[in-house]
C-alpha cells in the first residue's frame, strides 16, 4: 500500500524518474538534484521510526530498494500471514462501512504488492463473507439470480445500504422525539387546566 501512495507523491512532483537509471540526456548535477528531491519526498511519507535507516541516502532507487527489502519481503510466510488476515477479516459492529472497505482494500493492496493476484469475484465474495448476520438479507438480495458478482457492485451496494439505514434511523428518531414532545405538551396542558379548575 505504501508503494502506491509514495509513487503517487513522486508522480505529482514529476520525480518518478529518480527511481530508475540516470537518463543519458541529463547532466550529473541535474540527476543529483532530482534524487535529492525524490529522497526528501519519500522520507516525508514515512513515519519517524521508518526513516532513520535511510536518513542519509541520496539515491532514490537505493532508498526505495532498502524500504522494499525491509517492509515488503516477498516470502511465503508473509503471503500466508496476509491471506489469513484477509480470509478471517470480519466487520465490527458500529464501524462505518467506508472504514471497513478501506481496511479490506488495504489488505488486497498488500497482497498485490506481494504479487498475489485475487480475482474480482473472489474479492466480492470474501467481502460479503466478512459481514455479520445482521446483513444476511442484504447478502441474499445481492446474490439473488446472479451467476457472478462484481466487487465494485458489492462495495457500492454496501455504501448505499448503510446510507439508507442511517437516514431511516434518523427519521425514526426525529419522529419519536416529535411524538414525545407532543405528549409532554398535552400533559403540561392538562396539568394547567386542572390547576385552573381547582
pTM of the model: 0.58
The rounded distance, in Å, linking the Cα atoms of 176 and 77 is 54
Q: Give the pLDDT band of residue 76 (cuts 50, 70, 90).
A: confident
DSSP 37-68: HHHHHHHHTS-HHHHGGGTT---HHHHHHHHH
Task: Compute the mean pLDDT over every residue in the chain, rounded to the nearest whole number.
Answer: 86
* Domain regions of the chain by residue span: 1-72, 76-171
Q: Which of 8-17, 22-31, 138-147, 188-197 has the lowest mean pLDDT?
A: 188-197
Digit-coded pLDDT (tens) for 43-64: 999 888 888 889 999 999 999 9
pLDDT at residue 112 greater than cutoff 70: yes
Q: Give the pLDDT band of residue 104 (cuts 50, 70, 90).
A: very high
pLDDT of residue 39: 96
**Packing angle between helix 136-143 and helix 151-197, nearest 10 degrees?**
140
Amino acid at each position: 500500500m505504501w508503494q502506491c501512495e509514495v509513487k503517487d507523491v513522486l508522480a505529482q512532483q514529476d520525480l518518478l524518474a529518480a527511481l530508475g537509471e540516470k537518463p543519458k540526456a541529463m547532466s550529473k548535477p541535474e540527476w543529483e538534484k532530482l534524487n535529492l528531491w525524490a529522497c526528501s519526498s519519500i522520507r516525508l511519507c514515512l513515519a519517524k521510526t521508518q526513516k532513520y535507516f535511510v536518513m542519509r541516502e541520496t539515491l532514490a532507487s537505493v532508498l526505495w530498494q532498502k524500504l522494499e527489502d525491509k517492509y515488503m519481503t516477498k516470502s511465503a510466510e508473509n503471503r500466508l500471514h496476509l491471506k489469513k488476515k484477509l480470509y478471517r477479516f470480519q466487520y465490527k459492529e458500529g464501524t462505518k462501512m467506508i472504514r471497513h472497505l478501506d481496511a479490506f482494500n488495504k489488505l488486497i493492496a498488500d497482497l498485490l504488492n506481494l504479487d498475489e493476484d485475487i480475482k474480482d469475484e473472489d474479492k466480492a465474495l470474501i467481502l460479503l463473507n466478512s459481514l455479520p448476520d445482521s446483513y444476511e438479507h442484504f447478502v441474499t438480495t445481492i446474490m439473488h439470480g446472479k451467476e457472478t458478482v462484481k466487487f465494485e457492485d458489492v462495495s457500492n451496494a454496501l455504501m448505499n445500504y448503510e446510507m439508507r439505514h442511517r437516514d431511516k434511523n434518523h427519521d425514526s428518531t426525529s419522529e419519536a422525539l416529535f411524538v414525545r414532545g407532543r405528549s409532554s405538551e398535552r400533559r403540561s396542558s392538562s396539568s394547567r387546566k386542572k390547576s385552573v379548575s381547582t
